Every structure is written in C-alpha cells, then in structure tokens.
C-alpha cells in the first residue's frame, strides 16, 4: 500500500477569540507556499491571523487577500519535515494554492546497482526526499512493463534495496523508476542481465481450446484492436471463451500471432 502525507484540517476553537487552525504537514521542497486569504464576515479584516512553522511564529504578512509563506527564509533543509499552522478566524478558512509542493518528489541518486547470477537485483541510493515506491520495469514486447515494486525508505542517507528479477530467456533489459505527484517521474539508466532460462515453445491445442507452453512464462494476449484480453503467468492458457478473430500473443520476450 502506498503511503501519502495526510493533510488534515484541524479546527481548534479558543473561547471568545473564535480562532481556528489549519494544519499542513509535508516535506520542504525548496519552495514557498501561496495562500488565498478571504475577508472575515462583513469584510472587516482578513481570515488568516498568524503563521507558525514547526512551532515557531513567522514574520509573514497576513493582512492581505493573498500572501506567501516564506519557507526559504527559515533555513530549512531540503526534505526536512515541516508542520505549518495557519491561525485563522472560525468564520472562514484560508486556502493554500500549491499544497502539492510539500509532497515528496523523485530525487534519488543511484550509488550502486548490481545483478547477481541468480537474478537478484541490489541497488543503493542517496538523496531521497520522502517515501515513494521504486518501480522495477522490464523492456519486453516492445514496451516497458512494470514487474515489481519496492517501497523507498525516503531518507537522504544511503539506502539499500533488493528485488528478485523475473527473467526471460536471453538478454534482459531493466530500469528503476519513481513517480511523484503531478506526473513527476525519475528513471535510472537502463541495465541488462543475461539469463540462462530456456526459451519456451508453445502449441495451440487441437480445437483451439488452449495454448500450452513448454515451461511457465509471463504472457499477454491482445485482440485485433490492440486491447489486452488476457494476461498472467502460467504454462497453459484457456482460450475456449475467446471470440473468433486474430490475436497477438506475447510471451517470454516474443510476440506472435494466432487465429481463433
């Protein structure tokens, strides 16, 4: 399960002052926050009253319809945890316009990457900024296919990981990626590994009720419109319920056609 930063709204009423707090948690990404600040009640005064970052009151000017929370001025370290509290009137709630800039971004650097003879991938990173999963992708069937996922530790220190690669016959090509918010993606350089796995053969059973492989293999079947209709990992595929037509069968590192 992926873990994300929770951005809760916490309303704290303070007796006659009728104050409330908007609490935002995240990671410092070398960016400031921008706040839309509405008027209170009948238009007398503004909603936000005070800003605190990690418990410390800031000097940000809130007496405006919009203002900036200057995180860069606080000498925070990149990736450092931040808790921002906006004290405001309980009659309204300020709106942070770029709250996604506190969420983790893919910033890892690969220090070491090695694939053993048994297909065990080991890699080490530094400069991670927040917990994001690493996606392991394999190039086969003319595209990159996700074959696994390892949750990142997220610290800026040196971190070590391992993953058992699924190998097809011959030369295998892989890469490691992280995907952040707003479609941010960072990808390692491609790397290769040679497998001793034998290339499986296949046969379509008489009556075209199944496709049988000589050994277990990952597979995908596409119809003539390029829509995937079946996928999995097995030594036999039941195709008796497929409608008549032309199909592409992807298995091992191969793409072939068959008719039903």
The pLDDT value recorded for residue 208 is 82
Taking residues 128-157, what's their average pLDDT? Answer: 93
Q: How confident is the model at residue 30 (pLDDT cuts 50, 70, 90)?
A: confident
Residue 11 vs residues 18, 63, 65, 178, 232: alpha-carbon distances, Å: 10, 21, 21, 35, 49
pLDDT in tens, 116-132: 988 999 999 998 888 89
The domain 109-195 having CATH identifier 2.60.40.10: the answer here is: yes
Query: Which residues neighbour 73 within 8 Å (Cβ) at sequence distance 6 or greater?
Result: none
* Dist. CA 124–CA 162, nearest whole Å: 9
247 with 223: CB under 8 angstroms? Answer: yes
- What's the farthest any 2 CA atoms get from each other in the chain? 84
Q: How confident is the model at residue 141 (pLDDT cuts 50, 70, 90)?
A: very high
Average pLDDT, the chain: 89
Q: How confident is the model at residue 5 (pLDDT cuts 50, 70, 90)?
A: very low
Give percent of the chain with pLDDT exceeding 90.
72
The pLDDT value recorded for residue 43 is 67
Give percent of the chain with pLDDT exceeding 70.
93
The pLDDT value recorded for residue 207 is 81
Give the residue with greater pLDDT, 202 vs 205: 202
The pLDDT value recorded for residue 164 is 97
Residue 46 vs residues 4, 12, 96, 212, 224: alpha-carbon distances, Å: 32, 18, 15, 71, 61
State how far Cα 76 lies from the chain centre.
Answer: 25
pLDDT in tens, 97-109: 999 889 888 989 9
Rounded to 5 degrees, φ, ψ at 16 are -75, -20
Count how many Cα atoms sit within 13 Å of the Cα of residue 207 in the half-sphere of its side chain.
5
The pLDDT value recorded for residue 87 is 95
Count CB-CB contacts under 10 A for residue 119: 16
The pLDDT value recorded for residue 24 is 93
């Amino acid at each position: 399960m992926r873990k994300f930063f929770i951005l809760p709204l916490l309303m704290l009423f303070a007796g006659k002052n009728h104050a409330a707090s908007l609490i935002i948690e995240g990671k410092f990404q070398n960016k400031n926050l921008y706040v839309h600040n509405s008027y209170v009640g009948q238009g007398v005064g503004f909603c936000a009253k005070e800003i605190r970052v990690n418990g410390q009151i800031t000097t940000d000017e809130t007496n405006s319809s919009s203002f900036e929370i200057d995180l860069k001025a606080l000498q925070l370290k990149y990736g450092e945890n931040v808790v921002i509290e906006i004290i405001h009137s309980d009659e309204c709630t300020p709106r942070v316009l770029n709250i996604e800039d506190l969420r983790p971004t893919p910033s890892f650097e690969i220090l070491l990457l090695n694939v053993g003879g048994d297909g065990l991938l080991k890699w080490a990173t530094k400069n991670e900024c927040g917990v994001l999963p690493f996606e392991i992708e394999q190039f086969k069937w003319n595209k990159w296919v996700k074959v696994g996922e390892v949750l990142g530790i997220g610290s800026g220190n040196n971190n070590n990981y391992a993953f058992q690669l699924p190998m097809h016959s011959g030369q295998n090509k892989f890469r490691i990626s992280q995907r952040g918010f707003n479609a941010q993606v960072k990808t390692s350089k491609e790397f290769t590994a040679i497998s001793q796995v034998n290339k499986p053969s296949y046969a379509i059973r008489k009556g075209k009720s199944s496709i049988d492989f000589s050994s277990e293999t990952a597979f995908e079947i596409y119809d003539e419109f390029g829509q995937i209709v079946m996928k999995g990992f097995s030594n036999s595929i039941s195709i008796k319920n497929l409608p008549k037509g032309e199909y592409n069968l992807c298995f091992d590192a191969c793409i072939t056609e068959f008719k039903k």
